[in-house]
Amino acid sequence: MTDDDLLRYSRHILLDDIGIEGQDRLLAAHALVIGAGGLGSPVALYLGSAGVGRITLVDPDTVDLTNLQRQIAHSQDRIGQPKVASAAAAVHALNPGAQLDTLVQRTDATLLDRWVPQADVVLDCSDNFATRQLVNAACVRHRRPLVSGAAIGFDGQVSVYDCRQPDAPCYACLFPPDAPPEEVRCATMGVFAPLVGIIGATQAAEALKLLAGVGTSLAGRLQMLDARRMRWDEIRIPRQPACPVCGAAH
């Protein structure tokens, strides 16, 4: 760690739970972020500013005017650019030393089987059920912790699915792949702008805790936010022995 690093990350280093050793772990870590929109924006900014040494961003879309109400990594002058390039520029403006890989492509099993094994943590910031299932299956396959978030309207949720823990569930334990919910999207339902910031910042916090070895993660617990009342509720999630992704038969 250089003298500049010691100054840049001094507020982390001052925390007894992180210190120099924890910050070194962050600097050596690799985070894979699926989605560079509403959730991926605060995730990328906080991971980059906190010193995660390598961040891989995956998103096939370009920046649109309608994104700017909530996707804080993007700006008016980057409309039309790939979202991953725009988010990378925003991270580099905060921390020029961050290393970013940008993949302008849709997430599929081939991409995940290449990049998930390289990552120390995976953050699902996507906006559809099919992608979430693909990401979860890859994380189970390659035994990587997954930090998953979702937000629509005034409602958000976030949890950690960590298959390294024997009793921890995966995403499919809670949301079976063969029972997809009705898809709702921001383009038709709308989304409260700060909601994605709250959920994305919580995802970043959980990822940083996992990487630095700090505290207790949300594994086995689903946090749900009603932003109308600014009320958090929590439910416990048991692992399902018959889960088609992480169950005993698999």
Strand partners, 161: 146
**C-beta pairs of 141-145 under 8 Å, 24+ apart in sequence:** 141/113, 141/116, 142/113, 142/116, 142/117, 144/116, 144/117, 144/119, 144/120, 145/121, 145/210, 145/217, 145/219
Cα 168 to Cα 27: distance, rounded to the nearest angstrom: 27
Other Cβ atoms less than 10 A from the Cβ of 55: the count is: 24
Location of structure tokens 């439910």:
235
Q: What is the CA radius of gyration of the chain?
A: 17
Q: Which residues of 160-196 are buried (b: 16+ CB within 10 A; e: fewer)?
A: bbbbeeeebbbbbbbbebeeeeeeeebeeeebbeebb
Given 170, 186, 243, 246, which residue is catalytic? Answer: 186
Q: Look up 163 and say whether it is catalytic.
A: no
Q: Which residues are catalytic?
A: 186
